[in-house]
Structure 1
C-alpha cells in the first residue's frame, strides 16, 4: 500500500471531492437514487444497492449511527438484494468500520482514492507501434471490449455493454476508449465519466491483456482521458485504484488521498 499524501494540496483535493462528488446524488445510471438523511442511497439498474455516508464526526451519536446502519439493512432486506456501504478511511467516527461489521456487513478488497489536478498530469499520448486509441460507442465494439475484459479477468462481464451504452448518454456522460491492434484486436479498454455541475471527471477500467502490459498503453489511456477532461473544462481527475494500478497513477501525478473499502451486506440464502 502506497502511503497517503497528507500535504495541504492533497487535503484540498480530498475536500473538493467530498464536497462536489460525495455530497451529490449524481446519476442513477438506469437505476434509482435518493437522499436519506446523511446518506445517498442508490439501487442499480441490475438491482444491487449502494450507500454513500455523508455525515459523521468523532462526536456522532453511536446509537443513532447504529440505527442508521440497521435501517439500510432492513431496507435492502425487504428488496432481497445485496448492498455496498462505501467507507473512506477519513470517515468519522473512527469506529465506523466496527459498527458496519457488527451489523453484518463484510469488508471487501480495499482500493485507493487518487485525485489529480489536470494541469499537473501529462498530456502526452504515446502508444507502441501497431496500436491506436479509439473512442467507441457501437454495441458491437462494446461487446468486443466485454470479450477482452473476460479474457483478462476470467469471469463474465455480461453487464458491461448495457452499462456503458447507458453511461454514454447519461446525465454524467461517459466516453469509452479502447486500444486496438492494426488488425482490430482490442487489448485495453477504459472510460471516463464527466460529472455534470462539478469540476471532476472519474477514470474507470484500464484492463489490459497480459501480453500487452508494460508497454505504456495504460499510461496512454490516462493521458488521453486527461486531455478529454481539459477539452471539456474539467479541473480534476479521480480514480479508485486497485493495487495493480495505484502505483502507476501515483507516478503519473495523481495524489493518494484516502483508502476506500466496500462493506457488503448480502441477504441470507
Structure 2
C-alpha cells in the first residue's frame, strides 16, 4: 500500500468484502440487504445500522433509503440506529441528507489499514504489566472497566456484547487486556476476524491516562496482529480516533479515508 493506486484497490476490497458482503458481528444479529443498503439488525443492546450503500446511489434514492431506515428503526423500537458513512460514499451530500432527516453525526474517525504480518512483532510491555486474554464474564467486566477508565464512557453495552460473544460465538473473536502488578486493567482491545475475507478489525483499544506513552497500546496491536497473521488474515483495519491514528500511522498503517457515525435516536 505504498501508492495511492494500491490504497484505492485496498479500499475497494475492504468495501466489497467487509461492507457490501458484511457478516453479523455477533450472535443474535443478522445482516440484511434491503434495496441499495446493507444493514445489521439485532436487539436494543446490539449494534444496529447501515454498513454499506450502493456507490451508484443518487439523491432521490438516498432520501428514500434514509426514510426506509428510520421507519425500520421505529418499527423495531430500537433506541438508536446508525448509518456508518465513509468519506468516499455517494452521493457526495449524503451526510447533509442524513442530518436533514434527523441523524446526528458523531466524531469522525480515520479508516486505516496495514498488513497484519508487518505489525506482528515482539510484544514489549513495561515492568509489572502483563497481557491477559478475556475468555469469560469476569474478564469481560475487567475489560469494560478498562474501557470506562480509558474513554470516560459507560461500558455497559460493551460488557453485554463481549459476554454474549464469548458465550455464543467466540471462534472469530479475540479480546485481550493489559493488567498492572495488582491485577488492575490498564488497557484493553478486541479483534473481529471476518471469515472468507482477508481482513481483521481492531476495535476498542484504549489505555488509562496514567499508563499512556509506555508502549502498552502498541503491544496490544502487535499481539492481535500476530494472531490475525497466524490465522491467515492479510490486513488489519482500524477506525481510529484522533488519539490513536498518529500512533497507528507510525506503526505502518495507511489512511484510506474517514468514517463518521450518523446516529438516529427516537424521541422519548
Do both share a fold (TM > 0.5)?
yes
Distance 1:193 1:266, change over 3 A: same
Match of 1:130 in 2: 128
Q: How far did residue 120 of structure 1 move?
A: 3.0
Distance 1:225 1:47, change over 3 A: closer
Match of 2:194 in 1: 195
Distance in 2 between the 1:48 and 1:192 partners?
16
Q: How far did residue 172 of structure 1 move?
A: 6.6
Match of 1:19 in 2: 16
Match of 2:62 in 1: 65
Q: How many residues align?
A: 263
Distance in 2 between the 1:113 and 1:33 partners?
22
Q: How far did residue 254 of structure 1 move?
A: 0.8
Structure 1, unmatched stretches of 5+, are none
Distance in 1 between the 2:170 and 2:94 partners?
32
Match of 1:205 in 2: 204
Distance in 2 between the 1:195 and 1:47 partners?
18
Q: How far did residue 153 of structure 1 move?
A: 3.1
| Aligned partners of 1:192 and 1:203 also within 8 Å | yes
Distance in 1 between the 2:125 and 2:41 partners?
38
| Aligned partners of 1:52 and 1:85 also within 8 Å | yes
Q: How do 1:39-188 residues align onto structure 2 when only pairs under 5 Å count?
A: 39-45=37-43, 46=45, 49-57=48-56, 60-81=57-78, 82-168=80-166, 169-170=168-169, 173-188=172-187
| Aligned partners of 1:179 and 1:187 also within 8 Å | yes
CA offset digits 1:115-163 (Å, max 9, x no partner): 1112333512111111111212021121122222222333421222331
SS in 1 for 2:244: helix
- Between stretches 251-260 and 139-148, larger displacement belongs to 139-148
Q: How far did residue 190 of structure 1 move?
A: 0.7
CA offset digits 1:189-223 (Å, max 9, x no partner): 11111111111110011111111110000001101
When normalised by structure 1's length, the TM-score is 0.91
Match of 1:256 in 2: 255
Distance 1:123 1:157, change over 3 A: same
| Aligned partners of 1:113 and 1:239 also within 8 Å | yes
Match of 1:10 in 2: 7
SS in 2 for 1:159: helix
Q: How far did residue 232 of structure 1 move?
A: 0.5
Distance in 2 between the 1:48 and 1:26 partners?
13
CA offset digits 1:230-263 (Å, max 9, x no partner): 1101100001011110110111111110110111
When normalised by structure 2's length, the TM-score is 0.91
SS in 2 for 1:259: strand
Match of 2:228 in 1: 229
| Aligned partners of 1:14 and 1:257 also within 8 Å | yes
| Aligned partners of 2:119 and 2:221 also within 8 Å | no
SS in 1 for 2:226: helix
- Aligned residues: CA RMSD: 1.9
